[in-house]
Amino acid sequence: MKTTLPQSIAVSNFVSEAASVSAASPQKRRTWAHTEGLPLPLGVTWIEEDQAFNFAVCAEHAESVKLFLYSPTDLAKPVLTFQFDPIRNKSGRIWHCRIPLDQMCDARYYGYSVSGQAVAGLRGFDHEKVLLDPYAKRVFFPPGFDRKRAMKPGPNDEKAPLGVLPRQLAAFDWAEDLPPRPESDAIVYELHVKGFTKNPNSGVHPSRAGTYAGLIEKIPYLKDLGITVVELMPIFQRDPHEGDYWGYMPLNFFAPHAQYASSVDDDGQHLEFKNMVKALHKAGIFVVLDVVYNHTCEGDHVGPTYSFKGFDAAGYYMRSSDPPSPYANYSGTGNTLNFSQPHVRKMVMDSLRYWKEEMHIDGFRFDLASVFSRNADGSLNWGDAPIFSEIAADPELGRLALIAEPWDVGGYQLGRGFPGTTWLQWNARYRDDVRRFVRGDAGMVPDLMRRIYGSDDLFPDSREHAYHAFQTVNYIDCHDGFTLYDLVSYNQKHNWKNNHDNQDGMDANYSWNCGHEGEESAPPEVLALRRKQAKNFVCLLMLSNGIPMFRAGDEFLNTQFGNNNPYNQDNEISWLDWSELKANQDIFRFFKGMIAFRKSHPSLCRSRFWREDISWYGTGPTVDLSPQSRSLAFCLHGASQGDDDIYVMINAYWQALQFQIQEGAPQDWIRIVDTDLPSPNDFSECGLPLQQSIYQVAPRSIVVLVRARQGTTLS
């Protein structure tokens, strides 16, 4: 029986089927990779030996895929269209091809078109849409870029974001870029790249204000303050038309946000970002990125189709069982990436490796990290969610600083409930308990003791669990909520300018306005109390076991005017007001002093819990744990760490209390801190010797004493 092979599907005619063979001048045999392309690595890759680009994209359920290459002079009509042949250009879920440079004309940008069977309600495949490569390292927004067009079915030529073909540039000179490794001296400073220097009063040159380069100009300030870790709010490329100031709506996981670069060149943001990281490292500052892998800016079924939806909505996103809302929404933003899918996990792993290897990032803070634990049906995997073991097994990623926000919308895994057992975690219990104690809530003394000690109730160091005290990232505030000054100035949120009728943002702020709402017409005694309360907060933060974090501007009482959710406020509400630094030099001095004090006493931040080195007291020899109590004291003995002893007296009551110092003779101790005193007496670098063993601690005040370790004297 005669059989015939099926005719192969036609592809663009610029790829020859075979090389001619000449006996006189034999030619090199063309490889399969040269003819068909390779499925890995994903994205676009320059192949030097072939003088060609390899393109690879994951679209499991696609039936047809086209690649478009565009010239900068014509973004409507591609200079080249390649129709992928599933027989020759597909391996598993991945479509791939290789295109020689000499056949690409003057192409600079690229995009895709994908078609397939529609999944009810998802609004995914649309063959008329030009799609952005999920692995694009640079994103180009054409002059006619239109978010609204992406939200409707039909073509978006000249209006869609495009990938940028990589140029052959000289390797970046990292010199001897050895990232610092802070331990007991870790001080985490959360900042927004644009908001940090955008205000005209930042002192940064106007051409660099609000950029990566602008941040470099502020490194001396960070060094002076004592910062050892900067945690950058999201810098992934996002939709510039969405109104997402914070950056928590990513369009892409590989490209740095181009709008934070002072250069308009396609490659400018990469060079500027690398220079920023290099400069921070040279200054001894560790760099952590706040990364958002739990969702994208494509939103729900009525949101725009830029990339993931068009390639495979059912493969990239979790689905719900509710037809009117077909996308599961554990992020609170309309969609949730599906981490039960191997290609989604691979994308995240590849992104992390890229930022580590190419950009020299030292660590990552994962937004809404409980999404990583979600099974395909939305249930939480409390055991061994795959991506955690994949990260741990990676020889490079497993050694980085990995910090979780251990919850999402509907799931809360703080402490040992979080599957990343070696990760650090943002400790929201610390935030809430310390806020409640400082504002004077009853019954908070036992909780405060737990938080100061290192939250061993959440991170037990038992033989079974073996957590470390440094795994708690302690914070009073962060980008999400009141600033430190607003925390002591407002009882209620004031979010009207966000245009959500003041319904957005947290209601449970545990704040106290010290007797007057807001700044306008606040009496002097209220303003003085607010300054003291701010000092009390930073004092407790710097005296607690664990890693301390605070938000940029707290050190000079920056305000957002009571707005606790300014995610869409790209203006003076969110930009740091550097005039406050001059106005509040006393608070800046106190912050700086407390940071230096902590860094000079490694006994405070330990790998392990304090155990027998801590003695707890009250105003007398025992702690008053009754609901009415609002005071306590403790002595942290530093001999085991080669450190001094530290005695702390804490009074959150509204009347003065007399504390009997329970250890040593009065002359053994010197006073370093009394938050009730005006500057510069509130923090003394040299200290003031005590004259008696009774110390009257003023209302809502904290006092810190130091006793030199045996055989040494305090200078």
- Under DSSP, the state recorded for 131 is B
**H-type helices in 550-683, by residue range?**
579-583, 585-599
How many CA atoms does the CB half-sphere of 617 hold within 13 Å?
Answer: 19
Q: Which of 333, 340, 325 is nearest to 377 (CA)?
A: 340
Backbone torsions φ then ψ of 47, nearest 5 degrees: -105, 100
CA distances from 432 to 342, 462, 565, 633 (A): 37, 25, 17, 20
How many angstroms separate the CA atoms of 590 and 680, rounded?
8
**Residues 440-478: tens digit of each pLDDT:** 999 999 999 999 999 999 999 999 999 999 999 999 999
- The per-residue pLDDT for 20 is 38
**Residues 62-71: tens digit of each pLDDT:** 999 999 999 9
How many angstroms separate the CA atoms of 628 and 554, rounded?
31
- The per-residue pLDDT for 12 is 39
- Please enumerate, as own/partner, the contacts of 147-156 that have beta carbons within 8 Å and a separation of 24 or more: 147/239, 147/241, 147/242, 147/304, 150/304, 150/305, 150/306, 151/302, 151/303, 151/304, 151/305, 153/123, 153/126, 153/128, 154/126, 154/128, 154/129, 155/128, 155/129, 155/130, 156/128, 156/129, 156/130
How many angstroms separate the CA atoms of 300 and 334, rounded?
4
- The per-residue pLDDT for 27 is 62
Contact in structure between 155 and 129 (CB atoms under 8 Å): yes
- The per-residue pLDDT for 265 is 76
Q: Which of 333, 236, 252, 346 is nearest to 289 (CA)?
A: 236
Contacts of 82 (CB under 8 A, 6+ apart): 11, 12, 55, 66, 67, 69, 97, 99
Structure tokens at 73: 């002079």
How many angstroms separate the CA atoms of 45 and 37, rounded?
10
Contact in structure between 94 and 39 (CB atoms under 8 Å): yes
- The per-residue pLDDT for 237 is 97
Residue positions annotated with a catalytic role: 367, 405
How many angstroms separate the CA atoms of 582 and 111, rounded?
50
**Which residues in the chain land under pLDDT 70?**
1-28, 266, 711-715
How many angstroms separate the CA atoms of 598 and 646, rounded?
11
How many angstroms separate the CA atoms of 586 and 590, rounded?
6
- The per-residue pLDDT for 21 is 37
Domains of the chain (ranges; CATH) run 32-164 (2.60.40.10), 212-418 (3.20.20.80), 427-439+446-452+468-609 (3.20.20.80), 612-707 (2.60.40.1180)
Contacts of 460 (CB under 8 A, 6+ apart): 416, 467
The whole-model pTM stands at 0.94
Placement of tokens 């809404």 in the chain: 368
How many angstroms separate the CA atoms of 186 and 595, rounded?
10
Placement of tokens 């075979």 in the chain: 18
How many CA atoms does the CB half-sphere of 496 hold within 13 Å?
Answer: 3
How many angstroms separate the CA atoms of 206 and 2, rounded?
77
**Residues 109-168: tens digit of each pLDDT:** 999 999 999 888 898 999 999 999 999 999 999 999 999 999 999 999 999 999 999 988
